[in-house]
């Protein structure tokens, strides 16, 4: 760090000497880790480039369709580009998905029928899925449960998939139609699942029941590894375009990829039976979806580096972190345990202060739709709620864990983490 930078941080952001000294130690420790992430990024950039070239993407794909949107070549070709990148038969990439939850819900509703069971094998799914499944307090909202789709769940055993219980369930319950896995930690104190770990579990699951659909919630996971879950046998996968794969450029949207028959079923849910993915005008956003995808391998790694740095600096400051800076990652999330509501809230407020947008507002805990506990969200993003941009959120519940993610540039992620840390010291 230049002397001028340190001066500015002290003057403008009231950095203490302690913060500066923690920075110096942390940055030294993490730089050794970055080489591995640079190599993964390089491979993924090449994968994306190759897919663009193979689909012969040109200026004409950035045009604007209207009305029904029949033959929107930008939309149809982006599906093909995604399918290539994910090594999948088919993709459905749409600005019409309002978020990741919508894409996941569409995949589930599209493929489950009354009498089927959905089996979650990585423990409790992400909070917003509870309404979809029908395990939240909300009633009469059209959950899977209300449509007669049953649900069961196998909790993790020491942070790993409990293969014995999973096998037992698959053998004894013939109604299981779909197995749900979540790659990222979500609001959980656990490591994300490496793609190879998921692959091994999928192989075992398929050896018992080849007919079940293995669905992976891939939110926050894209481009963090050299492979994606669809490379190792996942049948169906979904995620958000305002996380990793949108590269900070996609203004909205979600994607579903996987086996053609399952993606088609999902598409009949997104629109209607018989119409599926063939309709839907794209409001002139296609260039952004392409450009965001092109930048995504790079941006995702900027965010990962931010998380790695944050892990180290917070650990040095005396907090428990997960994962540690030198552990292998499969998502961009950094969990920090505060054991103290005030520290947690001050950390999140610090991230807000460190944002390019809305740095002047104080974020407060609130009752967010889809979540059971109050949640505090620090997000000063160019795109509302975009969590590939530097953001932190935390359900206000013991043991007061904040989840930090994103950062369009490593410099911003790093400075943001320091401002947040400094905000706890004050």
Ligand X SMILES: *Cc1c(COP(=O)(O)O)cnc(C)c1O
Query: How many residues touch ligand X (CB under 6 A)?
Result: 13
Shortest spacing between CB 100 and ligand X, in angstroms: 3
Distance of CA 426 to the CA centre of its chain: 32
Counting Cα atoms < 13 Å in the Cβ hemisphere of 274 gives 0
CB of 182 to ligand X, least distance (A): 5
Which stretch, 9-17, 158-166, 214-222, 306-314, contacts ligand X (CB under 6 A)? 214-222
Among 69, 100, 134, 350, binds ligand X (CB under 6 A): 100
Segment 171-190, which members bind ligand X (CB under 6 A)?
182, 184, 186
Segment near ligand X (CB under 6 A), from 14-22, 94-102, 222-230, 390-398? 94-102
- Interface characters, 215-234, with ligand X (x: CB under 6 A): --x-xx--------------
Is 97 an interacting residue with respect to ligand X (CB under 6 A)? Answer: no
- Residue 217 vs 235, nearer CB to ligand X: 217
**Tokens, residue 340:** 């103290």
Q: Is 99 in the site for ligand X (CB under 6 A)?
A: yes
126/325 with CB nearer ligand X? 126
What mask of x and - would describe binding to ligand X in positions 253 to 292, judged by CB under 6 A?
----------------------------------------
Contact positions with ligand X (CB under 6 A) in 111-150: 126, 128
Q: Which is nearer to ligand X, 238 or 413 (CB)?
A: 238
Q: Given the rule CB under 6 A, which of 97-105, 164-172, 290-298, 341-349 is the region that contacts ligand X?
A: 97-105
Q: Which range in 30-38, 85-93, 96-104, 269-277 contacts ligand X by CB under 6 A?
A: 96-104
Binding site for ligand X (CB under 6 A): 99-101, 104, 126, 128, 182, 184, 186, 217, 219-220, 240
């Amino acid at each position: 760090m230049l002397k001028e930078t340190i001066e500015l941080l002290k003057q403008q952001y009231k950095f203490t000497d302690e913060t500066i000294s923690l920075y110096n130690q942390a940055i030294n420790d993490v730089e050794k880790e970055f080489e591995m992430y640079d190599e993964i990024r390089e491979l993924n950039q090449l994968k994306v480039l190759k897919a663009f070239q193979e689909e012969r993407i040109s200026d004409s794909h950035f045009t604007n369709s209207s009305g029904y949107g029949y033959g929107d070549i930008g939309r149809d070709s982006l599906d093909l580009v995604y399918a290539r990148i994910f090594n999948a038969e088919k993709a459905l990439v749409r600005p019409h998905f309002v978020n990741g939850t919508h894409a996941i819900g569409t995949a589930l509703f599209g493929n489950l029928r009354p009498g089927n069971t959905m089996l979650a094998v990585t423990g409790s799914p992400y909070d917003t899925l509870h309404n979809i499944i029908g395990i939240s307090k909300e009633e009469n909202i059209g959950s899977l449960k209300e449509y007669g789709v049953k649900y069961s769940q196998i909790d993790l055993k020491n942070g790993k998939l409990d293969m014995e219980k999973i096998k037992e369930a698959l053998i004894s319950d013939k109604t299981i139609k779909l197995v749900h896995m979540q790659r990222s930690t979500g609001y959980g104190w656990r490591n994300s699942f490496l793609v190879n770990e998921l692959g091994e579990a999928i192989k075992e699951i398929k050896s018992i029941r080849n007919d079940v659909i293995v669905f992976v919630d891939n939110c926050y996971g894209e481009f963090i590894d050299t492979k994606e879950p669809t490379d190792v046998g996942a049948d169906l996968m979904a995620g958000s375009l305002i996380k990793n794969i949108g590269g900070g450029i996609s203004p909205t949207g979600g994607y579903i990829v996987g086996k053609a028959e399952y993606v088609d079923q999902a598409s009949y849910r997104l629109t209607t039976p018989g119409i599926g993915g063939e309709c839907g005008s794209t409001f002139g956003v296609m260039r952004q979806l392409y450009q965001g995808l092109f930048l995504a391998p790079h941006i995702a790694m900027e965010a990962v580096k931010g998380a790695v740095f944050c892990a180290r600096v917070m650990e040095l400051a005396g907090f428990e972190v997960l994962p540690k800076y030198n552990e292998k990652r499969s998502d961009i999330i950094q969990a920090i345990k505060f054991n103290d509501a005030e520290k947690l809230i001050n950390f999140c407020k610090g991230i807000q202060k460190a944002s390019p947008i809305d740095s002047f507002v104080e974020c407060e805990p609130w009752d967010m739709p889809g979540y059971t506990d109050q949640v505090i969200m620090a997000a000063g993003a160019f795109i509302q709620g975009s969590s590939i941009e530097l953001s932190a959120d935390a359900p206000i519940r013991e043991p007061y864990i904040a989840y930090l993610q994103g950062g369009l540039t490593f410099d911003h992620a790093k400075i943001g983490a320091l401002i947040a840390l400094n905000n706890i010291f004050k």
